[in-house]
Amino acid sequence: MDRAESMPDEASAGGKIQHIAVIMDGNGRWARERGLPRNAGHRAGAERVRDIVRASLDAGVKYLTLYTFSKENWKRPRSEVSGIMGLAELFFRKFFRELRNDGVYFTHLGDRQGLPESVLRVIDNIEADNAPEKKLHLNLAFNYSGRAEIVRAARSLCAAAAAGELEPEDINEESLSTRLFTAGMPDPDLLIRTGGEMRISNFLIWQVAYTELWVTDVLWPDFTREHLLKAIEDFLRRERRFGGVKK
């Protein structure tokens, strides 16, 4: 069945929450308000990631996707980008083992090309020694672009059609979805954005077609377990009709 014709899975339709995506915005503003350099805000934000991952585990969330570094972020000052890369490497090394032992399974979403070799080595080592028990899939969108992801999937479909592996008329939403970084995962039920901005910023733009949005003015380093639970509570009160009507 074509994905466009299929109904949402039972967990999404029944009010449970499987997959939360988060745009972690506000690190720079948090630092500026305190008279600190921007990279201090990124360090505080990285510490917050661990807390929110643990809160998601406790809440029974199965997938957590965090927007950590976009392709557009390369436009930032070189010192800030270098700091983020070093912080990413430190975060992976510092927190991975303890989260792995709690059943957190790590996946990198994004383009490997352009990332420093040191970061790639850490990602490869983590993926080679991932959690055997997958209580929570932690997807870190790092060097990620939603549009680039769709282009990548389209190129894969074109190559398959050119090779005679499928007919162009057989290309549908499902076949494209299987070529995304999130292949095999449920689409996000809830997208949280911190920092108050009202946009999705090229994040999972295919996957969030029917995702519920929850925006808060709270800056990411100040986003707590209580804020996460409030977002989940609000989500569970919503009625999701997926284009249908109330019964």
Q: Is the model's pLDDT at 223 over the cut of 50?
A: yes
Query: Bridge-partner residues for 140, per DSSP?
Result: 66, 108
Q: What does the pLDDT read at residue 88?
A: 81
247: pLDDT confidence band, cut at 50, 70 and 90?
Answer: low
- The 10 Å Cβ neighbour count of residue 159 is 10
Rg (the chain; Cα; Å): 18
Tell me, letter by letter, the H, E, C secondary structure of the chain: CCHHHCCCCHHHHCCCCCEEEEECCCHHHHHHHCCCCHHHHHHHHHHHHHHHHHHHHHCCCCEEEEEEEEHHHHHCCHHHHHHHHHHHHHHHHHHHHHHHHCCEEEEEECCCCCCCHHHHHHHHHHHHCCCCCCCEEEEEEEEECHHHHHHHHHHHHHHHHHCCCCCHHHCCHHHHHCCCCCCCCCCCCEEEECCCCCCCCCCCCCCCCCCEEEECCCCHHHCCHHHHHHHHHHHHHCCCCCCCCCC
Q: What is the pLDDT of residues 18-28, one digit of tens each?
A: 999 999 999 99
Mean pLDDT of 141-159: 97
Rounded to the nearest 10 degrees, the angle between the axes of helix 225-237 and helix 38-58 is 50
Catalytic residue among 27, 51, 58, 73: 73
Q: Is the model's pLDDT at 30 over the cut of 70?
A: yes
Q: What is the pLDDT of residues 153-205, one digit of tens each?
A: 999 999 999 999 999 999 999 999 999 999 999 999 999 999 999 999 999 99
Going along the chain from its start, the domains and CATH numbers come out as 16-144+186-237 (3.40.1180.10)
241: pLDDT confidence band, cut at 50, 70 and 90?
Answer: low
Mean pLDDT of 8-35: 81
53: pLDDT confidence band, cut at 50, 70 and 90?
Answer: very high
Q: Report the phi/psi class of residue 238: left, alpha or beta, with left for phi > 0 and alpha for psi in -120 to 50.
A: beta
Q: Is the model's pLDDT at 4 over the cut of 50?
A: no
Contact 32, 200 (CB under 8 A): no
State which amino acid sits at residue 78.
R
Contact 34, 43 (CB under 8 A): no
Q: Is the model's pLDDT at 29 over the cut of 90?
A: yes
Q: Is the model's pLDDT at 11 over the cut of 50?
A: no
Q: What does the pLDDT read at residue 9?
A: 45
Select the more confidently predicted residue: 227 or 8.
227
Q: What does the pLDDT read at residue 33?
A: 97
Residue 212: phi and psi, rounded to 5, are -80, 140
Q: What is the pLDDT of residues 94-140, one digit of tens each?
A: 788 889 999 999 999 999 999 999 889 989 988 899 999 999 999 99
- Let me know if 25 is a catalytic residue: yes
Tokens standing for 101?
């032992």
Catalytic residue among 2, 9, 25, 125: 25
Give the C-alpha distances (Å, rounded to integers) separating 243 from 103, 177, 186.
36, 20, 18
What is the chain's mean pLDDT, rounded? Answer: 90
Q: What does the pLDDT read at residue 10?
A: 37
